[in-house]
Amino acid sequence: MNKAARPRVVLGVSGGIAAYKACELLRRLTESGHDVRVVPTASALHFVGAATWSALSGQPVATEVWSDVHEVPHVRIGQGADLVVVAPATADLLAKAAHGLADDLLTNTLLTARCPVVFAPAMHTEMWEHPATQENVATLRRRGAVVVEPAVGRLTGVDTGKGRLPDPGEIYEVCRRVLARGVREPDLTGRHVVVSAGGTREPLDPVRFLGNRSSGKQGYALARSAAARGARVTLVAANTAGALSDPAGVDLVPVGTAAELREAVLAAAATADAVVMAAAVADFRPAAYAPGKIKKRDGQEPDPIVLVRNPDILAEVSRDRARPGQVVVGFAAETDDVLDNGRAKLRSKGCDLLVVNEVGERKTFGADENEAVVLGADGTLTPVPFGPKDAVADTVWDLVAARFPGAPTG
Ligand code: CTP
């Protein structure tokens, strides 16, 4: 990519121990062709020095408004950016940004930027939960910033709790999506969405289960896309642990069986504006669970496996809408008569939208690409051409957002 065409990203770094993780974010951004200008605060430089930022970005590192004054850096850096991402964002930095203070180069940059802004906070749990911080976060979100919820886990010292900087690779994923959309106002801010992903497993005995080939990638793409568009996301993930990395800013609820998935989805749906059922839920489970391993017996045929039906979660969520105006989306994988079967399924499930996939070699299970048709209960049909699962995710959220009460029509 020629230099002029490269998206210009300002990476603001404020003074927390997680500053070292921003080096990895910087590396991801530069290696994927972004022109990155690092603006550390004075306290950030206590953790990682200017030489590191300069070497990794290939650019001089400006830290204060008083150097190169003739270039007016306190205005120019923000004005010229396509994206500003602050990682880690400390409680102090969030407070300054929320109140429009501008006492160093980074806070000046935040005031002059007219592009999308992403904050990835990291701090101790008490500081994150403090009403002052929460109100500052709410203010920044209301003004159009994407504030990524911190992860839960080990903090500095012996403490654990909410406040960890999410995985830098996942913060990069948020930046990539926000840059691709290029809009300053995330359209799902203030919304709570529930996404189910992965494939349920129904245990036969302590070592065996009935499962399916769902990888969870489409559900994860939906969760990442919703978070980058500002939503609070609950991701109910069936058997994805270890295979997929946790999306940044997303509340992940791991489950195993269809019954566990149902419980988690119904609990989260109580406050949700939208529920998207991308998980492959087993329609049947073994009638009996053998508490000890089922052994083969010489000269004897195995006992048949008797199955019973699992509840249809999508049909239940659609029927019992937990909130007025809640939008419910289902998925269907079909091999034959794709559209006819899809329309029949949309009616029988009672959802608002049904994403219909034709099962094919390069598509659906385990693949990074997908091709789909989204059918609406109102008779609409939206094709999504073959492409990354992100494209299906963004089309789904476009269609969901258009169905929220009060959404602009036409
Ligand atoms: N689903 C669900 N609960 C189930 C089964 C499926 O909520 N017990 C949801 C899935 O998450 C998906 C949609 O329903 O959104 C898929 O419907 P389903 O009827 O299971 O599709 P197929 O497996 O394609 O159905 P069939 O075997 O009848 O073709």
Judge whether 357 counts as a catalytic residue: no
Kindly report, residue by residue over 188-223, the tens digit of the pLDDT.
999 999 999 999 999 999 999 999 999 999 999 999
Task: For residues 149 and 146, give the distance between their C-alpha atoms in angstroms, rounded to a whole number.
Answer: 9
User: Looking at the domain assignment, is residue 334 inside a domain?
Assistant: yes
Considering the domain architecture, whether residues 252 and 199 belong to the same structural domain is answered as yes
Q: Are residues 243 and 100 in the same domain?
A: no
Report the atom number in ligand 1 closest to the C-alpha of 311: 8
| Residue 187 located in a structural domain | no
198 and 162 within one domain: no
Mean pLDDT of 254-258: 98
Residue 216 placed within a domain: yes
Is the same domain home to 205 and 141? no
Same domain, residue pair 174 and 197: no
Structural domains counted in the chain: 2
What is the four-CA torsion angle of 295, 297, 300, 303, rounded to 10 degrees?
Answer: -10
Which residue has the CA at smallest separation from atom 6 of ligand 1?
Answer: 281
How far apart are the C-alpha atoms of 284 and 72, rounded to whole Å?
66
**Do 281 and 151 lie in a common domain?**
no
Mean pLDDT check: name the lowest of 58-67, 295-304, 390-399.
Answer: 58-67
Task: Please tell me the distance between residue 213's alpha carbon and the centre of ligand 1 in angstroms.
Answer: 14
Answer whether residue 409 is part of any domain.
no
Q: Which atom of ligand 1 is nearest to the CA of 330?
A: 15
pLDDT, tens only, 364-378: 567 788 889 999 999
Measure the CA–CA gap between 156 and 388, rounded to whole angstroms.
Answer: 37
> What is the model's pLDDT at position 409?
64
* Average pLDDT in the chain: 93
Residue 346 buriedness (CB in 10 A; 0-12 / 13-18 / 19+): buried
User: Region 237-251: what's the mean pLDDT?
Assistant: 95
Is the CB of residue 283 below 6 angstroms from any atom belonging to ligand 1? yes
Closest CA to 302 of 286, 281, 314, 321: 286
Domain, as residue range, for 335 = 192-291+298-403
Residue 410 lies in a domain: no
Phi, psi of 264 (to 5 degrees): -70, -40
172-185: pLDDT as tens digits: 999 999 999 988 88
Cα of 264 from ligand 1 centre, angstroms: 17
Q: Does residue 82 share a domain with residue 22?
A: yes
Average pLDDT rounded to a whole number, residues 127-138: 98
Is pLDDT of 3 > 70? no
Report the percentage of the chain scoring pLDDT > 70. 96
Which residue, of 146, 181, 216, is where some domain finishes? Answer: 181
Q: Please determine, for residue 187, whether its predicted confidence score (pLDDT) is greater than 90.
A: yes
* Domain limit, last residue, from 181, 200, 223: 181
Residue 11: CATH number of its domain: 3.40.50.1950
Q: Output the CA 314–ligand 1 centroid distance in Å.
A: 7
pLDDT of residue 156: 80
Shared-domain flag, residues 326 and 257: yes
The pTM assigned to this predicted structure is 0.95
202, 214, 277, 374, best to mutate for ligand 1 pocket (most atoms within 8 Å of CB): 277
Say how far apart CA 401 and CA 405 lie, in whole Å. Answer: 9
CATH number (domain holding residue 254): 3.40.50.10300
In a domain, 131, yes or no: yes
**319 within a domain of the structure (yes/no):** yes
331 lines ligand 1 (CB under 6 A): yes
* 377 assigned to some structural domain: yes
Average of pLDDT values for 322-348? 94
Shared domain check, 197 and 139:
no
Q: Is any atom of ligand 1 closer than 6 Å to the C-beta of 316?
A: no
Write down the H helix ranges in 215-349: 217-228, 258-269, 313-319, 338-349
Query: Do residue 385 and residue 362 come from a single domain?
Result: yes
Tell me the pLDDT band of 335, cut-offs 50, 70 and 90.
confident
Nearest to 122 by CA among 25, 238, 256: 25
Listed residues 149, 181, 213: the one ending a domain = 181
**pLDDT value at residue 130:** 98
Pocket mutation for ligand 1, best pick of 222, 265, 314 (most atoms within 8 Å of C-beta): 314
Same domain, 174 and 199: no
pLDDT per position as a tens digit, 32-57:
999 999 999 999 999 999 999 999 99
241 and 211 in a common domain: yes
Q: What is the rounded distance in angstroms from the CA atom of residue 322 to the CA atom of residue 402? A: 19
Check 212, 310, 357, 370 and give the catalytic one: 212
* One-letter amino acid of 86: V
Helix (H) or strand (E) holding 85: strand 83-89
